[in-house]
Amino acid sequence: MFHKEGHKIILGTLGIVIAFSLAANYFIEDSIIKGGIVITLIALLVLILQFFRNPKRSFSASDLQILSPVDGKVVVIEEVFEKEYYNEKRLQVSVFMSPLNVHVTRYPVGGEVVFSKYHPGKFLVAWHPKSSEENERTTVVVRTKNFGDILHRQIAGALAKRIVNYAKEGEQVAQASDSGFIKFGSRVDVFLPLGSKLNVKLNEKVKGGLTVLASK
């Protein structure tokens, strides 16, 4: 199963693979070179399919848990001053996605979207100290009953060229439902209330919509 954001790219890549394979078969006589071209094209298609995959998962919503919004590895757990929405200190948990991870972004909590904003920006590597403020990014805040306002931020990386954000202010959203997609990139930050009971540690691998980041 593949995410809707990848349908056009997958079809386009499939067309290119077929066209170039036929061209190589027609114009190139050397079987080794011909085979190398075909293998390279197939490998490209497999990588695109891998990137846009959207595996079926069984989600269990809970008002007492904050879930990881994406697949990846926890690379940051620290107390920071969040100045775009809260203007106060929060506990930041950041998950880095490699090109091999599923790149669907899911709502870490359910509730009402009270803030949703897109910021154009640079494409610094995701671990750059200024990437969270200078890179292309989106900020989404969902108001919950038990945790208050929970912010998650999609951040583009060096390879990312488009962030898709589905969140609209005023709408009710379900925990673990699709919040967006980062095409070919790379990190999502979640900002939690200070004193939150963390369920993850640095360098831990997490699954979007399944792994519990924090709980009551």
Distance between CA atoms of residues 157 and 190, nearest Å: 17
Q: Rg (Cα) of the chain, in Å, rounded?
A: 20
User: For residue 144, how many other CB atoms are within 10 A of its CB?
Assistant: 16
Please name which of 50, 42, 29 lies closest in space to residue 102, comparing C-alpha atoms: 50
Residue 34, pLDDT above cutoff 90: no
Strands 162-165 and 178-183: antiparallel
User: What is the full DSSP assignment across 129-160?
Assistant: TTHHHHBSEEEEEEE-SSS-EEEEEEE--SS-
Domain chopping of the chain, boundaries: 4-51, 65-215
**Residue range 19-28, pLDDT digits in tens:** 999 998 888 9
Phi, psi of 15 (to 5 degrees): -60, -40
CA angle (60, 192, 109) in 5-degree steps: 25
Whole-model pTM? 0.83
**Residue range 108-139, pLDDT digits in tens:** 999 999 999 999 876 666 555 555 666 788 99
Residue 163, pLDDT above cutoff 60: yes
Query: Active-site positions?
Result: 186
Please name which of 120, 119, 111, 113 lies closest in space to residue 168, comparing C-alpha atoms: 113
Q: Are 112 and 171 in contact, with CB atoms under 8 Å apart?
A: yes
CATH architecture of structural domain 65-215 = Distorted Sandwich (2.70)
Q: At 49, is the pLDDT very low, low, confident or very high (cuts 50, 70, 90)?
A: confident
| Residues contacting 150, CB < 8 A, separation 6+ | 66, 108, 109, 111, 141, 142, 144, 190, 191, 192
90, β-bridge pairs: 80
Residue 79, pLDDT above cutoff 90: yes
Mean pLDDT taken over the chain:
89
DSSP H or E stretch at residue 117: strand 111-119
